[in-house]
DNA sequence: CACTTGACCTGTCCGC
DNA sequence: TGCGGACAGGTCAAGT
């Protein structure tokens, strides 16, 4: 689920909320894979530690602790990290999501707190946590909680000594951050040209080429750039690469501005949905007209084993 | 080595 | 309404 903009949105929210809070307890909900550290490590390096920073690399969240350990979190497809205030106060919560949609207290709920999501967007709701997707709970000493929820159990969180984080296999292999000011169009093109014989969609999804692009932003940036997803990397001109470079960055920056994309499961650190999909041009819009070509209908095809959305007119199939 | 496919999980949706 | 199969935003291991 979460791609770079979603993880970045969570990072910003968590950074505002949990830095300075101290972890007093934790509980696993029958899913050892979701938090596989040994009990002794949890005891020594998690409990009693204070959060000092929340960082992001690619789609991975890095929660730094005063114990000089870092809680590394990968949400994979359906993971959520949701902070809930002191439940003993049973405060009702009412506010607006990033898309302006009213968040109302759950019907008759005893603890109408912040979790939002699951199910269809039109019947979004808030209910108390934990729920049946909760895999781990962290308890702060001020009475607030951080829930790690993950329907499909692909995601995980794991404690590493902070100094070891750069040596994790994924961190060694992952490509540069595409939104960094120092990342240039030339570097972008050079990285992709190491994958000349694969199609551009597979290359965009390959985290060792550049970091952070997933299925949504791959389809959106290719549509903006008028490139068919099955085009071989080696067949793309330098000027098209410049266009794609700009559009990958534009699409992900816009999504961060909109609080990310919520299709089914994604919520930010406060349980709110993102609104980027309202601005999407092709993703999940098969059968609708292309914004550039009122006569053309967006198609859904399969590329690199993934559902892929294209306009057959502005993204003509390579021969 | 470059590239593709299947596996990891659970839930939902679609066609018969 | 029930049932089987395909599919879902990510990554790795194992295969060609």
Q: How far is the CA of A203 from the C1' of B2 (A)?
A: 12
Q: Where are the alpha helices (DSSP H) in chain A?
A: 4-18, 39-41, 169-173, 185-192, 200-205, 215-225, 238-257
Place of tokens 């898309």: A99
Nucleotide nearest to A170 (CA to C1'): C11
pLDDT value, residue A318? 84
pLDDT single digits (tens) A246-272? 999 999 999 999 999 988 888 899 888
- Rounded to the nearest 5 degrees, what angle is found at the Cα of A41, between the Cα atoms of A51 and A77? 65
pLDDT value, residue A1? 67
C-alpha distances out from residue A119 to A23, A126, A178, Å: 31, 11, 32
pLDDT value, residue A98? 37
Q: How far is the CA of A264 from the C1' of C1 (A)?
A: 26
Nucleotide nearest to A153 (CA to C1'): B9
Percent above pLDDT 90 for chain A: 82
Nucleotide nearest to A262 (CA to C1'): C9
pLDDT value, residue A263? 84
Residue by residue, pLDDT tens for chain A (319 residues) are 699 999 999 999 999 999 999 999 999 999 999 999 999 999 999 999 999 999 999 999 999 999 999 999 999 999 999 999 876 544 333 333 333 332 332 222 222 233 333 332 333 335 688 999 999 999 999 999 999 999 999 999 999 999 999 999 999 999 999 999 999 999 999 999 999 999 999 999 999 999 999 999 999 999 999 999 999 999 999 999 999 999 999 999 999 999 999 888 888 998 888 999 999 999 999 999 999 999 999 999 999 999 999 999 999 988 7
Catalytic residues of A: 2-3, 59, 306
Within 7 Å of a protein beta carbon, the nucleotides of strand B are 2-6, 8-13
């Amino acid at each position: 689920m979460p791609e770079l903009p979603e993880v970045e949105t969570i990072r910003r929210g968590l950074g505002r909320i949990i830095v300075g809070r101290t972890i007093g307890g934790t509980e696993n909900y029958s899913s050892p894979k979701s938090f596989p550290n040994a009990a002794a490590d949890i005891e020594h390096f998690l409990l009693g530690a204070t959060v000092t920073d929340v960082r992001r690399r690619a789609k991975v969240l890095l929660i730094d602790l005063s114990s000089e350990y870092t809680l590394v979190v990968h949400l994979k497809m359906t993971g959520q990290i949701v902070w809930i205030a002191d439940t003993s106060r049973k405060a009702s919560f009412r506010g607006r999501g990033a898309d302006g949609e009213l968040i109302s207290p759950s019907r008759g709920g005893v603890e109408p707190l912040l979790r939002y999501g699951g199910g269809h967007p039109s019947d979004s709701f808030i209910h108390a946590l934990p729920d049946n997707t909760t895999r781990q709970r962290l308890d702060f000493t001020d009475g607030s909680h951080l829930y790690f929820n993950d329907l499909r159990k692909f995601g995980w969180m794991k404690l590493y000594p902070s100094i070891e984080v750069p040596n994790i296999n994924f961190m060694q292999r992952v490509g540069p951050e595409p939104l960094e000011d120092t990342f240039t169009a030339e570097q972008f093109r050079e990285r992709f040209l190491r994958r000349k014989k694969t199609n551009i969609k597979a290359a965009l999804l390959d985290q060792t080429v550049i970091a952070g692009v997933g299925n949504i932003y791959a389809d959106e940036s290719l549509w903006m750039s008028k490139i068919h997803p099955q085009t071989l990397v080696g067949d793309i001109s330098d000027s098209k690469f410049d266009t794609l470079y700009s559009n990958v960055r534009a699409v992900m920056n816009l999504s961060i501005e909109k609080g990310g994309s919520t299709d089914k499961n994604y919520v930010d650190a406060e349980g709110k949905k993102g609104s980027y999909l309202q601005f999407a041009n092709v993703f999940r819009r098969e059968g609708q007209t292309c914004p550039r070509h009122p006569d053309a209908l967006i198609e859904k095809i399969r590329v690199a084993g993934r559902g892929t959305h294209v306009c057959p007119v502005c993204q003509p199939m390579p021969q």
